[in-house]
Amino acid sequence: MPDIKQFDLELKLKCGVTLPAFLKYFTLGDPKNPAVMIPSCYTGRLAGTMNMVYGDEDAVSPKKYFVIVVGLFGGSESSSPSTQPAPFDGANFPKTVYEDNINAQFQLMKSLGVEKLFAYMGYSMGGQQAYHFATLYPDHVEKIVPVASSAKTSGFNWNFLEGVKATVQASSDFAANTYTEPVVIGCKAFGRVYSNWALSYEWFETEAWKEAGYASAEEYLMKDWEGRLTTWDARDLVQMAVTWQEGDISIYYDGDLSKALAAIKAEVLVMPSRTDQYFRWEASVEEVKSLKKGTLAIIETVWGHIAGGGAGTKGENKYINDQISAFLAKPFEERQ
Amino acid sequence: MPDIKQFDLELKLKCGVTLPAFLKYFTLGDPKNPAVMIPSCYTGRLAGTMNMVYGDEDAVSPKKYFVIVVGLFGGSESSSPSTQPAPFDGANFPKTVYEDNINAQFQLMKSLGVEKLFAYMGYSMGGQQAYHFATLYPDHVEKIVPVASSAKTSGFNWNFLEGVKATVQASSDFAANTYTEPVVIGCKAFGRVYSNWALSYEWFETEAWKEAGYASAEEYLMKDWEGRLTTWDARDLVQMAVTWQEGDISIYYDGDLSKALAAIKAEVLVMPSRTDQYFRWEASVEEVKSLKKGTLAIIETVWGHIAGGGAGTKGENKYINDQISAFLAKPFEERQ
C-alpha cells in the first residue's frame, strides 16, 4: 500500500458553499505512463479500491499505467462529515454532488501533470463518477469503464437509498444528527437493510456463501455487513447516499439521457452484473444503445451488485479483468 | 362492514406458552353455504382484507359462500402485542407462528359449524396461511388460493424482513422495546424501507403512480407508505415479520418442500405477481410442479408484490377475480 497523500483546494460547491476541501489519494507507477483514475465507491476506502475493480488479475498494471486512486467526498478519507475540520465538520458539512467530486479530481490530475486521462474507471458510485467525468470533461479522457453502475440513478435506486438513509437517521444512537459517539446500532441496522439489496435472490437460493467460505448466510451477513458497516461514520453514509441519489448526467442536456450519453466522446465499457437489483443490466443495455462508442459486457453472477466490486467468484473476477484488459489494449474500431 | 366478533380460546403455542388467545373475525353470508376462509396479511386489517384478494369484482360473493374473514396473530386485532391484556401484553407477548394461527382458525371454524372449508385463500402472509392450513388440516379444505405468496419463506425474503425489523428496532422511539407512546419515527423509516420491496423497479420506470392518481412517486411513497405505517404498533410489525420469516410447510416433511407440496390434497391456484421481488414467480412455478392439483396464473403487472393485494390496475384486479372465479366454479379435472 503506497502512502496516502492529500491535495488541498478551495472548492466552490454546487450548493453554493466554498469548502476548504481536500482529496485523499495515492498514485502507482510512472507519471510518464498513460494515466488511469480510479475513484472510491460507496463505503469503499482507498486501500480496497484497486481490488474493487480488478480482482486478482491486475488488468491495470502500474508497470504500464500511472494509476491515481482518489477518495470520494463523504467517503471518510477525502473531505467528509467525519474528516472535515470546523466550521464544516460533522452535521455542518455541506451537500456534495458528483460534479463537485469531478471538478476537484480534475484539479488533482492537473496538479499531477496529467492533461488527459487514458482511462477513468470505477465500480458503482465509481462508475457514476466515470460517466460524470466523461460528460463534464469530454476532452480529457479517452476511455471509461463503469462497472455495476449507471449514468443516471433510477427512481427505484433513489428510493432504496431513501430507505437505508431513513434507517440510520431514525436510529437511537444517530440521536437526530447530534451524536458524538459512533452510531453502532444505526449502522448495524443500515448494514442489514443494505445487505439484501447488495446481494441477490439467486445468491440465497444457490447458497453462494458456501463457496465464499462461510458456514451460513447469517454468518456472512453479520460479519460482512452488520460488522463492516459499524466501522463507518453515520453522517458519511448519508452524505454519500445523497451524492448517489442525485447522480444524473442528463441534467447537463435538459434531462435528455440519450443525448447526454451520445455526447460522450470517450469509449465506454459498460459492465453490469446480471443480478444487480438497483443498477439493472437492462438499463446498461439501453445506455450502450445511445453511446457513440459503447461496449456491453454483462457479468454472469449470483453475487448481485457486489460482483462488480470483485466479491464474486474467481472466474467472474477473471472475466472482469479480461474485459477491461481487452478494452484498454485496443481502440474501439479494432475491437469491433 | 359487518360487526367484528371475538373468538376466545386457550391456545398452547408452539413456543410452549399457553396463551389466553382471541381471534377477531367477521362472517358474511349464510352459514349453510360453502365456507371460504380469508385471513389477514402483513399490515392488513380485517376491514380491508376482502379487497386485498378480490379487487372490485367480488369473486367470492356472500350470496354464494359463507365467508369467514379472520385476523392474524400480531395483526393488531386478534391477539397481538398491542391488543393482548397483561401478563402477555406488549414486550411480553410470546412468539407466534403460522401453526398457531392455523390451529386457532381451525377451532374457530368448528365453533361456527364448519367441518370442511370449501376454500381458503389469502394474499401474501394470507397465502402462506393457506399453504399451512392445507398442510396441517389436509382433509378440511377443498381448494386454496395463495396470491403473491409461497409455501416456504426464501432466504432472500427472510433477510429482507431482518432489514425492516432492524430498522424499527434500532429506531429512537422504539427505545429498545420499552416504548409506551406510538413509534412514529421508527415506523416511518420502516415504511420507507418496505416501500421499495413492495413495489418494483418497473413501477418506477413506467411511472405507475400517475395512473394511480399521484403527482409523483414521492407523494405516493409518503402517503401510502410512511403515512400508513405510522398507524401500526411497532411490536406488532415485528411480531408478524417473525411469523412470516418462519413460514415453511416443509418442516412437517423433514425439510423436503417437494414432498410437503405433493402431500397437499387441496386443489391449489397459485397466483404470483410477475414483478414481486420477494415472493418470486419462479418459486411459484416450482411449487406447481410438485403440487398434485396445482394451477399457475401469473399476474402481469409492474405493481410488484402489492398487485396481489389489489393495488394494481383495474385490468389486473379483474384478472385476479376471473382466475379465482373460474378456479372456484369447477373441479380441477374439468378445468384441465
Give the tens place of pLDDT for each residue, B20-58: 999 999 999 999 999 999 999 999 999 888 765 554 456
Whether A60 shows a pLDDT value over 90: the answer reads: no
- Rounded Cα–Cα distance for residues A95 and A117 (Å): 27
- Rounded Cα–Cα distance for residues A44 and B155 (Å): 27
DSSP letter, residue A161: H
Contact (CB, 8 A) for B98 and B92:
no
Q: Residue written as cell 479530481?
A: A105
Is pTM beyond 0.90 here? yes
Nearest to B166 among A175, A176, A189 (CB): A189
Residue in B with minimal Cα distance to A196: B160
CA distance A297 to chain B (A): 22
Q: What is the mean pLDDT of residues A70-76?
A: 98
A170–B175: do the CB atoms touch at under 8 Å?
A: no
B188–A204: do the CB atoms touch at under 8 Å?
A: no
- Rounded Cα–Cα distance for residues A279 and A277 (Å): 6
Whether A265 shows a pLDDT value over 80: the answer reads: yes
Whether A223 shows a pLDDT value over 90: the answer reads: no
Q: What is the mean pLDDT of residues A4-11?
A: 98
Instruction: Give the 3-state secondary structure of residue B25.
Output: strand
Residue in B with minimal Cα distance to A183: B170
CA distance A301 to chain B (A): 16
Contacts of A175 in chain B (CB under 8 A): 172
Q: What is the mean pLDDT of residues B153-173?
A: 98
In angstroms, the first-to-last Cα distance of chain A is 37
Please give the interface size between A and B, counted as residue pairs whose CB atoms are below 8 Å apart.
114
Segment A272-318, tens digit of pLDDT: 999 999 999 999 999 999 999 999 999 999 999 999 999 999 899 99
Nearest to A170 among B159, B171, B175 (CB): B171
Q: Is the interface score ipTM higher than 0.85?
A: yes
Nearest to A172 among B156, B162, B172 (CB): B172
- Rounded Cα–Cα distance for residues B80 and A257 (Å): 50
Look up the CATH architecture of domain B5-151+249-335. 3-Layer(aba) Sandwich (3.40)
Contacts of B217 in chain A (CB under 8 A): 155, 159
Q: Which of B42, B72, B307 is nearest to B160 (CA)?
A: B42
CA distance B49 to chain A (A): 27
**Cβ atoms within 10 Å of B216's Cβ, excluding its own:** 12
A193–B280: do the CB atoms touch at under 8 Å?
A: no
Domain boundaries, chain B: 5-151+249-335, 157-241
Q: Which of A228, A238, A242, A239 is nearest to A306 (CA)?
A: A228
Whether A189 shows a pLDDT value over 50: the answer reads: yes
Transcribe A88-150 into DSSP letters: SSGGGPPP--HHHHHHHHHHHHHHTT-SSEEEEEEETHHHHHHHHHHHHSTTSEEEEEEES--
B156–A188: do the CB atoms touch at under 8 Å?
A: no
Segment A134-187, tens digit of pLDDT: 999 999 999 999 999 999 999 999 999 999 999 999 999 999 999 999 999 999
CA distance B92 to chain A (A): 22
Q: How confident is the model at residue A73 (pLDDT cuts 50, 70, 90)?
A: very high
Q: In B, what residues contact A, Cβ < 8 A? A: 154-156, 159-160, 162-164, 166-167, 169-172, 174-176, 185-186, 188-189, 192-196, 199-201, 203-205, 217, 221, 277-278, 280
State which amino acid sits at residue B336. Q
More confident residue, A53 or A56: A53
Whether A55 shows a pLDDT value over 80: the answer reads: no
Contact (CB, 8 A) for A268 and A143:
yes
Segment B171-230, tens digit of pLDDT: 999 999 999 999 999 999 999 999 999 999 999 999 999 988 999 999 999 888 888 889
The C-alpha cell that represents A175 in the structure block: 440521536
A156–B203: do the CB atoms touch at under 8 Å?
A: yes
Q: In A, what residues contact B, Cβ < 8 A? A: 154-156, 159-160, 162-164, 166-167, 169-172, 174-176, 185-186, 188-189, 192-196, 199-201, 203-205, 217, 221, 277-278, 280
Contacts of A195 in chain B (CB under 8 A): 159, 163
Whether A216 shows a pLDDT value over 90: the answer reads: yes
Half-sphere exposure of A198 (CA within 13 A, CB side): 24
Contacts of A194 in chain B (CB under 8 A): 163
A155–B221: do the CB atoms touch at under 8 Å?
A: no
Whether B336 shows a pLDDT value over 80: the answer reads: no
> Percentage of chain A surpassing pLDDT 70?
98
